[in-house]
């Protein structure tokens, strides 16, 4: 596949992964851009297998990715209360966005200006742990900003709902 032209790689990757991405609510916001978005994002998502009772991410960690949840097993937990579960994450969810409203209100950053603030360290306000072995697809924040430039309506529609 590495010898194929880039545009053909994107199309092939999107076709191979189209069933996988149908599970994610995020792509419902793509409308007529769905095929382009699938082609664009498919090679940027990094699979991440999280063992049981391990954190996907923790409160106060640097915010550097969002996660597309591929399998059941992730929960929001309260680390200071023996990781008590307070919300189950559904398969097909996209998590990591939930930290953004806090960034906006705490620092007075506007959504449109977020990328220009990446020189400042942005930290998570929540902890997510797996309750069993679980799979997610990680999208680094640099790719999120690139996606925001390429597909601004999709990202904004998703973020606002």
Q: Look at 20-34, 102-116, 130-144, 146-160 and tell me which has the smallest mean pLDDT.
A: 102-116
Question: Mean pLDDT throughout 107-117?
Answer: 53
CB atoms within 10 A of CB 34: 18
Q: What is the pLDDT of residues 126-156, one digit of tens each?
A: 899 999 999 999 998 888 878 878 888 887 7
Q: Which of 115, 156, 136 is nearest to 33 (CA)?
A: 156
Q: Where is pLDDT greater, at 89 or 22?
A: 89
Question: Could you tell me which residues come within 8 angstroms of residue 17 by beta carbon, excluding any fewer than 6 positions away?
Answer: 38, 42
DSSP letters, 38-63, are HHHHTTT-EEEEE-TT-EEE-TTSB-
Q: Name the strands in the sheet holding 94-95, side by side, starting at the edge strand that comes first in the sequence.
A: 46-50, 134-140, 65-69, 94-95
User: With respect to CATH, is domain 6-160 assigned 2.60.120.10?
Assistant: yes
Question: Mean pLDDT throughout 109-133?
Answer: 72
Q: Is 124 helix (H, G, I), strand (E, B) or coil?
A: coil
Average model confidence (pLDDT) across the chain: 79
């Amino acid at each position: 596949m590495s010898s194929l032209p880039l545009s053909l790689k994107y199309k092939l990757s999107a076709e191979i992964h189209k069933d996988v991405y149908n599970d994610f609510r995020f792509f419902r916001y793509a409308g007529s851009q769905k095929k382009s978005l699938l082609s664009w994002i498919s090679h940027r998502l990094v699979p991440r297998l999280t063992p049981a009772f391990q954190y996907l991410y923790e409160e106060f960690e640097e915010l550097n990715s969002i996660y597309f949840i591929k399998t059941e097993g992730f929960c929001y937990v309260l680390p200071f209360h023996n990781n008590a579960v307070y919300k189950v994450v559904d398969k097909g969810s996209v998590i990591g966005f939930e930290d953004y409203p806090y960034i906006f209100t705490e620092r007075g950053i506007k959504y449109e200006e977020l990328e220009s603030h990446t020189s400042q360290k942005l930290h998570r306000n929540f902890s997510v742990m797996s309750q069993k072995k679980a799979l997610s697809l990680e999208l680094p924040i640099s790719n999120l900003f690139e996606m925001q430039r390429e597909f601004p309506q999709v990202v904004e529609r998703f973020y606002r709902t």
